[in-house]
Chain A
Amino acid sequence: MSKYLLDKFLFTVDRDAEWVERYREDPRAAVERWEDEYANRILGCHCDESSTWLRFDQAEREALATHDYPKLFELGAHPFLTLTLFIAMFERDYADEPLGFQSEYARRLAHVTPPYPDIAT
């Protein structure tokens, strides 16, 4: 299991407007492409100096591919990263209701009680 790689996906997709749209529209294809092309990139290094060992396990890949943010929470993805990216993708669908998506997000996590999953990477 790699909480780090989950966080890396959320972080790198969130900061790139094209990737945000790609992930919103076709999450399974976006996750597959990202894992293939970006998972091993070291952000501060040249592309020829990428890592060689990073990949999702099946539960992580499936959670990302289905936009399953309660599952990402359970897997220990950083909640700030998940929230920020999912707001970018879905707040627009709740335009009539201020903070409507944020409220829905809280509701879908309502079954969770402390202590929350460990987010240390």
Chain B
Amino acid sequence: MAELVAVIASTHHPFYYRASTATGADRPPFADEWVRKVEAFRETLTKARPDVLVMVGSDHFHQLWLDNMPQFLIGKAPYYDANFYNEEREFGLPRMLLRGQEDLSAYLLREGLDAGFDLAFSNELRIDHSITCPIITLRPEADLPIVPVYTNIFAPPLPRPGRFVQLGRTIRRLIESWPGDQRVAVIGTGHLSLELGGPRQFGPTGPDPEFDRRAVQWIASGDIEGCLAEVTLDSLHLPGNATHGFMDFMLMMGVAGEGAKADYVDTYDLFHTMEAYFTWYPNGARP
């Protein structure tokens, strides 16, 4: 059977690429420390020596639109072009091309449907910065095949937080039952408190540092029950109007498992959001 060698949850800050590559007067003062933290985080994936990456993210109204909006979608394609015109324009992100791991996509779709998730699929999916940011931070070579998993954290009605956790648990179970000997890492990105297009956006910190502190504690300690007891679709409006992206972190907590303490935890308090980086090595397989 395949081996789940790392579970990684991260924020996806689209400004990292530009900040980390800027030089001279263009380089922001927070860039050096940010790069140091990201490179240390990257090492946690490198050490796990993955063959395949299952990438959990959320399309930001790029390819997926309100006339046909899936709640959970798995890409099944041999290749994925990546990043969009408005991401080049606003964030300076490069266009990319990633290989797909189609047999794992097919397996997750078939078994996921049979496990009670009516998953949508796409045979021609262009992926956006929710997946390319962690490629840039964690695997800049972009040399490993991926399986994209998209969630709807953006266009209500949304699935409830518990459903994200359930999907995470199911993804883990399916990867661990996938016939073959591949080493699989699951990488998912979301947000802590975040406001976009509202009065609390782009402040000196994230819009709700207290939520961020508690969120990091839930994730780092694997406290799924505690998190689910407090986080609802309604409650997520309070820390900032884009905070529903936290549900992708909850999905990753589901992959990591109840009570699973993260083996690596780091945060970086930036303007606009708090960055947060977590790695688990499942089954005591710390490399």
Q: Is the CB of B241 within 8 A of A79?
A: yes
Q: Which residues of B contact A111 (CB under 8 A)?
A: 199
Asked if B116 CB lies within 8 Å of chain A CBs, one says no
Q: Which residues of B contact A84 (CB under 8 A)?
A: 86, 90
Q: Is the CB of B196 within 8 A of A83?
A: yes
Which of B65, B157, B238 has most A Cβ within 10 Å? B65
Q: Is the CB of B237 within 8 A of A99?
A: no
When the two chains form the complex, which single residue of A8, A43, A109 contacts B199, counting CB atoms closer than 8 Å? A109
Asked if A81 CB lies within 8 Å of chain B CBs, one says yes
Q: Tell me the chain A residues, 74-121 only, with Cβ under 8 Å from chain B.
A: 78-84, 87-88, 91, 98-99, 102-103, 105-107, 109-112, 114-116, 119-121
User: Taking the nearest CB of chain B, how far is it from the CB of A78, in angstroms?
Assistant: 7
User: Taking the nearest CB of chain A, how far is it from the CB of B201, in angstroms?
Assistant: 5
What is the 8 Å Cβ interface bit string for chain A, positions 1-41, against chain B (1 contact, 0 not)?
00010011001001101000000000000000000000000
Q: Is the CB of B201 within 8 A of A106?
A: yes
Asked if B197 CB lies within 8 Å of chain A CBs, one says yes
Q: Which residues of B contact A102 (CB under 8 A)?
A: 201-202
Known: A83-B196, A116-B237, A120-B157. A43 touches B85 (CB 8 A): no
User: Please, which residue of chain B has its CB at the minimum distance from the CB of A69?
Assistant: B197
Cα(A119)–Cα(B199), bound, Å: 16
Cα(A80)–Cα(B202), bound, Å: 13
Q: Is the CB of A106 within 8 A of B199?
A: yes
User: Please, which residue of chain B has its CB at the minimum distance from the CB of A16?
Assistant: B85
Cα(A88)–Cα(B68), bound, Å: 26
Asked if B268 CB lies within 8 Å of chain A CBs, one says no
Known: A80-B154, A121-B66. A99 touches B202 (CB 8 A): yes
Cα(A81)–Cα(B68), bound, Å: 17
Asked if B264 CB lies within 8 Å of chain A CBs, one says no
Q: Which residues of A contact B65 (CB under 8 A)?
A: 11, 43
Q: Which residues of B contact A83 (CB under 8 A)?
A: 196-197, 201
Q: Which residues of A contact B154 (CB under 8 A)?
A: 80
Q: Is the CB of A15 within 8 A of B85?
A: yes
Q: Which residues of B contact A44 (CB under 8 A)?
A: 67-68
User: Taking the nearest CB of chain A, how far is it from the CB of B92, in angstroms?
Assistant: 13
Q: Which residues of A contact B28 (CB under 8 A)?
A: 98
Known: A43-B67, A44-B67. A109 touches B198 (CB 8 A): yes
What is the 8 Å Cβ interface bit string for chain B, positions 5-43, against chain A (1 contact, 0 not)?
000000000000000000000001000000000000000
Q: Is the CB of B198 within 8 A of A112?
A: yes
Cα(A114)–Cα(B265), bound, Å: 32
Q: Which residues of B contact A87 (CB under 8 A)?
A: 90
Asked if A42 CB lies within 8 Å of chain B CBs, one says yes
Q: Is the CB of A80 within 8 A of B242?
A: yes
User: Taking the nearest CB of chain B, how far is it from the CB of A54, in angstroms?
Assistant: 11
User: Please, which residue of chain A has its CB at the minimum distance from the CB of B60?
Assistant: A80
What is the 8 Å Cβ interface bit string for chain A, positions 37-81, against chain B (1 contact, 0 not)?
000001110000000000000000000000000000100001111
Asked if B84 CB lies within 8 Å of chain A CBs, one says yes
When the two chains form the complex, which single residue of A17, A82, A103, A112 contacts B202, counting CB atoms closer than 8 Å? A103
Cα(A79)–Cα(B202), bound, Å: 14
User: Please, which residue of chain A has its CB at the minimum distance from the CB of B62?
Assistant: A15
Q: Which residues of A contact B201 (CB under 8 A)?
A: 83, 102, 105-106
Q: Is the CB of B86 within 8 A of A119?
A: no
User: Please, which residue of chain B has its CB at the minimum distance from the CB of A83?
Assistant: B197
Q: Is the CB of B199 within 8 A of A80?
A: no
Could you list 17 examples of A-B contacts with CB < 8 Å?
Answer: A8-B66, A11-B61, A14-B86, A42-B67, A43-B67, A79-B196, A80-B154, A80-B242, A81-B61, A82-B197, A88-B90, A106-B201, A109-B198, A111-B199, A116-B198, A116-B241, A121-B66
Lowest 7 A-B CB distances belong to which pairs? A79-B197, A83-B197, A109-B199, A120-B156, A102-B202, A110-B199, A106-B201
